[in-house]
Amino acid sequence: MKIKSFSIKPCFCILAIGLASGLLSLTGCGVKKFIPEEEYLYTGADVKLEKEGTFKGTREVETQMENLLRPRPNSKILGMRIGLWAHYKGSRENPGFINRFLKNKIGEEPVYLSDVNPTRTEELLLNRLENMGFFYSEVGSEVQRKEKFASVHYEVLLKTPYTLKSYQYERDSIQIDQNIRELLEDTKLKEGDRFDLNKMKEERERIDVELKKRGFYNFNGDFLIFEADTNQYDEKQFDLFLRLKQNAPEKAIIPYDLQNIRVYPNYSLDDYGEGTDTVEIRGIQFIQEEKAFRPELLEQYILLEEGQRFNSDLSRLTSNRLSGIGNYRFVNLRYQERDTLSSDGQGLLDANIYLSPLDKRSVRVELQGVSKSNNFAGPALLLNYRNRNLFYGGETLNLTAKFAYESQIASGEREGLNSFELGLKGDLIFPRVVFPIEIRERFAYSVPKTKISLGTEFQDRRGFYRLNTLSSSYGYFWNANRFVYHEINPISLNFVNLSRTSPEFDVILDNNPFLRQSFEHQFIAGVTYSFAFNMLMDQFRTHSVYVGANLDFAGFGLNFLNELVDSRNVNTFLGLEYAQYNKADIDFRYYWRFSEKNVLATRLFGGVGIPYGNSVSLPFVKQFFSGGPNSVRAFRIRSLGPGSFRPERLDIGSFFDQAGDIRLEGNIEYRFPLVSLLRGAVFLDAGNVWLVNDNEALPGGKFSRNWFNELGVGTGFGLRVDVEFFVIRFDMATPLRRPYMPEGQRWERDFDIGDGQWRRQNLIFNFAIGYPF
């Protein structure tokens, strides 16, 4: 990007100079005057490595050495010790309200050289080096002082490390010995590896976990010890021996089998009375006073079997599956050891599964303040009725009624677009696969659920049209593991009836035949599939990714049916013209967490819809749009695209024109803490939408090879109030590149921030709930 000119008003220059001067006062010179006469401010330490011989992994060693340096110096932001400065200012006599507030919120206690113990740090470094195999290494330190500041320089001489020659487990007298020897085949300790105490601990933990999967219920990793022998070699090599402690208890080294499995589907602390009924299926006893859950259905969630060898994985997965039903507040799987052993000397366990149900029926009333991605906001009232365990098989019935009013905010010339909505929706969820042919699934992590939905909605877009929508779907959803989610709807139907159009809206449709067709294709029938891989929920993971994908195929099934039944008319079904298109999109996000609250978040989004047959464009409700609080924030909602198109008038009517069949978008945002619950962000967005087919009403809207020259680009900053349960977001952005301008004039050249008219035309304010991605 090349900016040829940059004009700033004189008053703004004065303000900038004053701000820069204030920031300079927060640097080292600004805090130096507060440092006591007998003290030196500690600015940190560094480590220099020198090695004896040649070996790999020096960078890893250096990183571990740096992580051991204590204490940490006072933090710096853009080279300024703001927290330390706030502490000093707030600690003076009569500091004033603002200085006291800053000290309490962001102040940091000063770290002086007198708080540093280089000798103790040297001991820590040597100890870590020995744990990593660098025996007899040397560590030295030097304190470096300059004016009122001091740092420590550490020098480490790395001796050649000891490397692994062989790794073995010698005993082979009892059953556990044979299992351990088998597990050593998958060890991560390989010949030539450097001696590393942490890797040995990980190896011991791995064996402990695997033994519990093989029935050793009472085993503990502490019963294993490592011994290293360096006497057999002249070079720095060692043999590693894994041994079982001689005093390991008998119960820890024998496997256990399951004898009795009991399930209490309606467990409470009250004792079960005389009316308790017991039903046995597949060796599992279901004990309940009155029928709370059908045993033949509940049995499908239990992976345990009578006579089965104890397996910690199956225990965990059984608990997960039972919790996934959604009917139970608590799922408690307890094992009880029996006093006797089996005939072949194995231990015996009884498994007791206690299930505490949630309330069967509930009614909830919600008053919401809704903020949507299309800049519509307003109040909504939701009434929800829920019936759990409807047919005593974990089924859940949800009925939801919705009353909502929405108005489009922060939309410039398009302000005033509003709507009134009424809706009623019912969902019936079966916690299993419901299919005409019985399917006895055995998904280990979670049981797929079947969802049947039926809903209707009335929408009055004031001054334009009324829509009556009837929708239904039948499908399945499940978690394959902790990160992966699938949802497929083999049947997805939508019928939309457009009624009571206004003369103004009729003119809009007459001027754009593509838009008219997108509203006329009111019958949508097809298959949808969604996939998500989400690691973003792990807040302490340094690198996290999210991949979401959606597929939507509409019309091909009806076309096939028509050809079978009546090949003369394949354009309608039951007298209704239906939409035909294939649509797909992918959403990739990458988070780089420098710390818990300092995050670099990026997103790439791509979506395309291909209309065919009856359709020359996607149905209006399926189209892509760009701009707004969750898109390119420097442009108002639906004010980008398609392509280089720009409406003759930016009014409410153009809201319906600026959408497309293709969407490409990229975002990058740096999020950082400010004070307490307030967080800041700076961001850069780019994107646009395009059409697949030419549309005379939207010149320049078709996708072409020069699509990258038609990207809208914007930047800005934001403030977020993050109260953990929800986020209130305020973003201010300005365009850097406008794709609808003539070529050569698309990049913004003048940023006259001091001019009120420039700010009104170029600064875009966005308000939303939640992070943009």
Per-residue pLDDT, 4: 33
- Res 676 pLDDT > 80: no
More confident residue, 293 or 274: 293
Residue 70 is part of which domain span?
10-158
Q: How confident is the model at residue 109 (pLDDT cuts 50, 70, 90)?
A: very high
Last residue in a domain, options 102, 132, 158: 158
Report CA torsion sign: 264, 265, 271, 277: negative
Mean pLDDT of 622-634: 89
Looking at the fold, whether 28 and 146 belong to one and the same domain comes out as yes
Question: What confidence category does residue 351 fall into, taking pLDDT thresholds of 50, 70 and 90?
Answer: very high
116 pLDDT more than 90: yes
d(CA 84, CA 109) in angstroms, rounded, equals 7
Residue predicted with more confidence, 55 or 280: 280
Domain count, the chain: 3
20 domain-assigned: yes
pLDDT band at 373 (very low <50, low <70, confident <90, very high): very low
Tens-digit pLDDT profile for residues 236-271: 999 999 999 988 899 999 999 999 999 999 887 655
Same domain, 235 and 276: no
pLDDT tens digits, residue range 634-671? 988 878 889 888 877 665 556 666 888 999 999 999 99
The model scores a pTM over 0.85: no
Q: Is residue 98 part of a domain?
A: yes
Query: Is 151 in the same domain as 172?
Result: no
In a domain, 247, yes or no: yes
For 580, the 3-state DSSP assignment is coil
CA distances from 124 to 47, 141, 270, 392, 566 (A): 13, 13, 56, 61, 83
Sheet holding 224-229, edge to edge: 163-169, 237-244, 224-229
Mean pLDDT of 146-174: 91
Same domain, yes or no, for 45 and 169? no
Give me 480's structure tokens.
Answer: 């394959």
How confident is the model over 737-763, as pLDDT tens digits? Answer: 999 888 888 898 888 777 878 888 888
Does residue 36 lie within any of the structural domains?
yes
Kindly report, residue by residue over 72-105, the tens digit of the pLDDT.
Answer: 999 887 778 888 988 998 888 888 888 888 888 7
The CATH number assigned to the domain holding 228 equals: 3.10.20
Q: How many CA atoms lie within 13 A of 314 on its CB side?
A: 17
- Residue 563, in any domain of the structure: no
Average pLDDT over residues 367-372: 60
Q: Mean pLDDT, to the nearest integer, of 107-111?
A: 91
Average pLDDT for 414-435: 83
How does strand 449-461 pair with strand 465-479?
Answer: antiparallel
Residues 107 and 14 in one domain: yes
CA angle 591, 593, 594 (to 5 degrees): 145
pLDDT, average across residues 354-380: 75
Q: Which of 120, 139, 158 is the last residue of a domain?
A: 158
Residues 293-298, mean pLDDT to the nearest whole number: 92
Average pLDDT, the chain: 85
Question: Among positive and negative, which fits the CA dihedral 564, 569, 571, 572?
Answer: negative
Q: Which residues are CB-contacts of 180 (< 8 A; sequence separation ≥ 6)?
A: 169, 207, 211, 242, 244
Please indicate, yes or no, whether residues 294 and 211 belong to a single structural domain of this protein.
no
Judge if 39 and 146 occupy the same domain.
yes
- Is 441 contained in some domain? no
Q: Which of 60-64, 181-185, 441-445, 637-641 has the highest mean pLDDT?
A: 181-185
pLDDT of residue 272: 54
Cα–Cα–Cα angle for 66, 69, 73, rounded to 5 degrees: 110
**Per-position DSSP letters for 713-726, written without gaps between them:** EEEEEEEEEE-SS-
Q: Is residue 283 situated within a structural domain?
A: yes
Residue 370 has pLDDT above 80, yes or no: no
Confidence (pLDDT) at 650: 61
From 691, 635, 644, 682, select the one nearest 663 (Cα to Cα).
691
What pLDDT score was predicted for residue 269?
A: 62
User: Are residues 175 and 254 in contact, defined by beta-carbon separation less than 8 angstroms?
Assistant: yes
Residue 491 lies in a domain: no
Q: pLDDT class for 21, splitting at 50, 70, 90? A: very low
Q: pLDDT tens digits, residue range 687-738?
A: 999 999 888 888 888 998 889 899 999 999 999 988 777 788 899 999 999 9
Residues 202 and 299 occupy one common structural domain: no
171 shares its domain with 153: no
231 lies in the same domain as 302: no
Boundary residue ending a domain (158, 180, 212):
158
27 plus 136 within the same structural domain? yes
pLDDT (0 to 100) of residue 506: 80
Same domain, 148 and 41: yes
- Average pLDDT on 182-201 reads 93
- The CATH number of whichever domain residue 96 belongs to comes to 3.10.20.310
